[in-house]
Structures are given as structure tokens and as C-alpha cells.
Amino acid sequence: MGFEKDMEKLEKIAGFLGGEVVLYRKDVWGDLLAYDVIVALMPSGIVVRGMCGLLRSKWEDPAVVVVDKGMRYAVPVLGGHHGGNEVAMRLEGLGMRAVITTAMEYEDGLSVGVGYRKGVSAEEIISAIERAFSEIGESLDEIRVISTWEGKKRDGVMERVADHFKRPLMYLGSEEINSVEVQSDSKAKALGLNSVSEACALYFSRERKLVLPKRVYGGVTVAIAR
């Protein structure tokens, strides 16, 4: 969402995220409640004043990410753990910097990247992650974030995995995944991806260091990074 004068930038953001452009008008705010995530290219004050009287709860409200006019920063101001942080991080693919203020993202911990074949169950993925952590001798409590390729959104399996571990789930697009350099070969190249599990783990890690390179557990691949 933004002003007509910024249409080129709005279309760039919408195209990158697979969304649609909504032009700002004074009475637009009620219409925006139908969306899961709002990316607003405008001053944060306008967004705060517009949304404050419409908010219900963090479980119902859309996530809101504010982008500055220079498209340098993406700041989740609502719903960080309900899509806002994920979208802000994805916008780094357009050269922005995600400004994350929720506590989880600043805690120490490990980033878990997951890939899996069609038909694999949530229970199989959970078991694979547990085996991976047993292999490196780390507690499952050290998981900070779990991520995978956005093509897996449709089956809903990873949502159940994230719910089991009670950790944030992030999806990465092809551009974000391919922006990460990995050493190992991957069958995901058939999908135009250099990697899935290792790239996802590294993308959301702090030190960009693999603690566990890709491991295969049946139809699941798991990589862990710090």
C-alpha cells in the first residue's frame, strides 16, 4: 500500500512478494483488515494512526510492515511472529534491511532448514529434526527458527512442525534461496534451486556457519546453522 506517485516502487514490492497494490486513501484502513500482511510504503505515523482504532488482537489483526521511501528498511510494526518478520526478511531480497524488534530473533540459538519430498508427514519431519539435534548433541530448546522453501506452503505440513516445536516458521522464495552460497549438491536443482535445507538454515543464521551440513533422513533433509 502506498501513494500513486510511488507506483513503480509499489509494483516492484508487490511483484516480488506476489501481492497486489492498494493505493492509499483516508478510508482504506477497514478494507485492509481482509489481508494477512500489509506492506506500507509510507511514514510509520500514518500507519499507526490509521490502524490503531481497528486493532482487535494479535491473533486476528494483519501483520504490518512499514517500508521507508528510499526502500532501505522494512520494519514490522504489527504481527512480527504472524508474518511480519518473515515478509521483512524476504524484502532483503530487494536490497532492504529488515529491522526486527521482537525478542525471539535476538536470542541465541540455531537456525533449522528443512527440505522434504511430497507426501512426507509432519511426524517424519519432526523425527528428522530430533535425530539431527541428537547427532550434534544440542538441545531442541536451542531452535530459534525453522525454515523451508515457499513451495511447501500449500501442504500445511511445516505449520504443524513449527507448532510442535513452538518456534517461528519462515518461508523463502527462490531468489532468496539462490542468493545463499552452498557447497553440497542438491536434487532441488530440478526445481531451479541451488539448495533447500542448507540455504534456508544459513539464510536465517547469525554467523552463517553450518553446525550440521545437510543430512538425509528418509524423505527429509535437515541442515542446522548458527
pLDDT number for residue 21: 96
**CB-count exposure of residue 141 (10 Å: 0-12, 13-18, 19+):** exposed
pLDDT number for residue 204: 86
pLDDT number for residue 177: 85
Cα-trace Rg, the chain:
18
Neighbours of 194 (CB within 10 A): 18
Report the phi/psi class of residue 169: left, alpha or beta, with left for phi > 0 and alpha for psi in -120 to 50. beta
| CA distance linking residue 22 with residue 220, whole number of Å | 39
Per-residue pLDDT of the chain (226 residues; tens, 9 = 90+): 999 999 999 999 999 998 999 999 989 988 988 898 999 999 999 998 898 888 777 778 889 999 999 999 999 988 766 788 888 888 888 888 888 776 555 557 899 999 999 999 999 999 999 999 999 999 999 998 899 998 888 888 998 998 899 887 888 888 888 888 887 766 666 666 778 999 999 988 888 899 999 999 999 999 999 9
| CA distance linking residue 182 with residue 159, whole number of Å | 26
Query: Please, what CATH class does the domain formed by 4-103 belong to?
Result: alpha beta
pLDDT number for residue 104: 57
| CA distance linking residue 101 with residue 225, whole number of Å | 21
Sequence spans of domains, the chain: 4-103, 108-225
pLDDT number for residue 85: 85
Q: Are 210 and 198 in contact (CB under 8 A)?
A: yes
Answer whether CATH 3.30.420.130 is correct for domain 108-225.
no
